[in-house]
Structure 1
Amino acid sequence: MIRLIFSILLLLTALLILFPAPEYHLWLLAVISGEYCWVLALVALVVLGAGQRGDKNFIIGSIISAIGFLIFILPLFQASQISGKLGNDLDKAFPAKNSSEAAKPFSFAKLFAKTPPIGHSTRTYITYADTSLTLDFYPSKVKAPRPCVIVIHGGSWSSGDSQQLPELNNILAANGYNVASINYRMAPRWKSPAPVEDVENALKCLRAHAADLSIDTNRFVLLGRSAGGQIALVAGYTLKNQHIAGVIDFYDPADMVWGYSVPSSKLIMDSRKVMERYLGGTYAKVPQQYVNSSPLTFVDASVPPTLIIHGANDALVAYEHSRRLNEKLQQAGVPHYWLKLPWATHGFDYNINGPGGQLSTYAVLRFMAALGPK
């Protein structure tokens, strides 16, 4: 009976690869289910081989464990399929300006890899009358003026900090890119567009110290996750800063107006409350704030090249946001690419070496290579 119960629990966990999580804690489990799927697949195999064949529940438990195993390995097969064409797709979207080649998009061996940390320094980039803001600077391993990625953390515009998910920062620095992971003013104390102003001030600070930090001031790229993706896109699209060469968007709410009209389940996140805290009220009260905070509002032919990365199983920020943004960029003729991850949920890149983490890292590195020095 214990084996049968364990088999059922494994199958229910595996279903989070196929369907969006219905509740917050199950969303956290979905991240593990999708990005550590190979570990859970091995567990399912162990359960499949365990037990006594004379047990009346043996066959049922075996069938359930086998189904769970097949679902757990699905992301590995899907990642392999995407990997086979990702390089060519990215080349078409962003013709490379140099000959540097990123590693293979996805490999089973890398599931077991470790990301060595790169040392970083913290500095204040802006002092306001009521607060000061800092950034963490990861210097490029290449000692020459190099592009700089400004990383903007997620956290519903009200939490998180510059230390969030540092693994990609380390990888970028190891591959020859400077990284500045910034803190910004957060809700509810500060409202939109305060974080966009912070990005602008971070750009000014980094440009002012470009010589000391070995930054190529013509190659700044904004990278944001979730709420940080919204900030990155709005900044990239509205500042009209010639030094911003591109924007990388991980699972952001690109259409705040539509997002407010179709909120996420409150069992996951009260998305309307989150937006109201950031924008200063309901859509009925401050509709222009929602319009002005929607990245797709500002899409035209002049916006920087954009890389979109989103999991179809995202339970916090609907996949539809990226579809809408992709459509607008397509209509405007903006160089862009949408990396679609069928199994992945919000925050999938928590495991940088998981199937989603590997593919997204590859796409980021190829995007950076295309925007790099000519």
Structure 2
Amino acid sequence: MPLKQFSSHLQRLKSQLDQKTALAKAIYRDFRIYDLGSFALNRMTPKSGYTVQRNIPYGLKARHRLDLYKAKQLRDTQPLLVFVHGGAWMHGDKKEYHFVGEAFAKEGFNVAVINYHLAPEHIFPSSIDDLTLALNFLNQSNLKLNIAVENIVLMGHSAGAFNVMSALYHPTPYRLQNLQAIRAIIGLAGPYNFDYKGDPLCADAFDQNIPYQQVMPYYFIEQNHVKHYLFTAEKDNVVGLSNSTDLNEKLLALGNHSQLIPVPRVGHITMIGSVSSLFSRFFSTKRQILQALDDVFK
């Protein structure tokens, strides 16, 4: 290759790397801004209409903890909503999502908000292992916790949406003790099929020697009874729309229930914040989630 052509090639590579680095920094900044926002949301979240049991151990390790929000006026179906936070598998904590527990407990749902182990110390499938452990714990401990586990909905945001989808669709299927009780999955801005190799945001959450086709839930979909609701954010600049549209097409092709639900006026981070009681009246996110839940339990 001539020197001039080689130099031009290096410049293009450097430009692409600079763009990816700038995007990663912007996303990282957004996550940190969201930390401050969630702190404020949680401080102002109403305290009535529900009770909370914090730091319930579902396993033996430090991150094996969940918070359980119990509705004071539970729906007749006694649903249990299990929420898994996002954060590129590298960041996040259940304590930042008090507003999520409150938002749905006040609507008649018992809500379990779980922690899981984070990368880079713990890579895929560690977070899925933790979710499965938590689900089996809830099933085994329902009498002690005074909750029903016959009608379960899994809901996750971003990386958490990947986790809840992977709990069902995984290279090596998990032994979920109460699989038939999982009525629906609600994925909020989920990454279900992307190449993480060299990804500036989450490469450290996966084994770079394993092709993404051997990891992503998209490749392990099978027919079942679960209803799927795939929410997308109109202004999402982090997770590509094709993650949800492609998964929706594959689920439908296999005869599964699936619904693609676009949410206007929200971005990747603000989508989850918009379910807060403080802001839900200004956005359609929570209303559309509740419509999906009504559809599940109609």
The TM-score by the shorter chain falls in which range?
Answer: 0.7 to 0.9
Output the amino acid matched with 1:311.
A
Give the paired residue count.
Answer: 253
Q: 1:250 aligns with which of 165, 171, 188?
A: 188
Secondary structure of 2:148 counterpart: strand
**Which stretches in structure 2 are left out of the alignment for 5+ residues?**
1-21, 35-43
Equivalence for 1:286? 210
Higher helix share: 1
Give runs of aligned pairs for residues 219-258 of structure 1, distance below 5 A.
219-238=151-170, 239=174, 241-257=179-195
Equivalence for 1:272? 199
Query: Are 1:364 and 2:251 counterparts?
Result: no
Cα offsets for 1:247-279 (capped at 9, x unmatched):
11010111033xx47xxxxxxxxx714432111
Question: What RMSD in Å do the two structures reach over aligned CA positions?
Answer: 2.9
CA contact (8 A) 1:134 1:182 kept: yes
Change (3 A) 1:25 1:336: closer
Tell me by how many angstroms 1:229 deviates.
0.8
CA distance in 1, matches of 2:279, 2:156: 19
> Rg: which structure is higher?
1
Tell me by how many angstroms 1:25 deviates.
7.2
CA contact (8 A) 1:135 1:162 kept: yes
CA distance in 1, matches of 2:282, 2:169: 26
Tell me by how many angstroms 1:317 deviates.
1.2
Equivalence for 1:157? 89
Equivalence for 1:49? none
Tell me by how many angstroms 1:119 deviates.
3.5
Secondary structure of 1:164 counterpart: helix
CA distance in 1, matches of 2:129, 2:223: 23
CA distance in 2, matches of 1:168, 1:357: 16
Output the amino acid matched with 1:116.
P
Change (3 A) 1:303 1:229: farther
Query: Are 1:183 and 2:140 counterparts?
Result: no
Structure 1 runs (4+) deviating above 4 angstroms are: 25-29, 353-357
Change (3 A) 1:337 1:354: farther
Q: 1:211 aligns with which of 122, 134, 143?
A: 143
CA distance in 1, matches of 2:97, 2:88: 15
Change (3 A) 1:345 1:297: same
CA distance in 1, matches of 2:70, 2:280: 27
Q: 2:221 aligns with which of 299, 313, 317?
A: 299
Tell me by how many angstroms 1:179 deviates.
0.6
Calculate the TM-score normalised by the size of structure 2.
0.75
Cα offsets for 1:284-338 (capped at 9, x unmatched):
x211xx2243121122322621111111321111122111112212212221221
**Which stretches in structure 1 are left out of the alignment for 5+ residues?**
1-20, 33-113, 262-270
Change (3 A) 1:207 1:316: same
Tell me by how many angstroms 1:169 deviates.
1.7
Equivalence for 2:105? 173
CA distance in 2, matches of 1:275, 1:351: 24
Larger relative CO (CA 8 A, sep 6+): 1 or 2?
Answer: 1
Change (3 A) 1:174 1:277: same
Change (3 A) 1:356 1:320: farther
Equivalence for 1:87? none
Query: Are 1:311 and 2:233 counterparts?
Result: yes
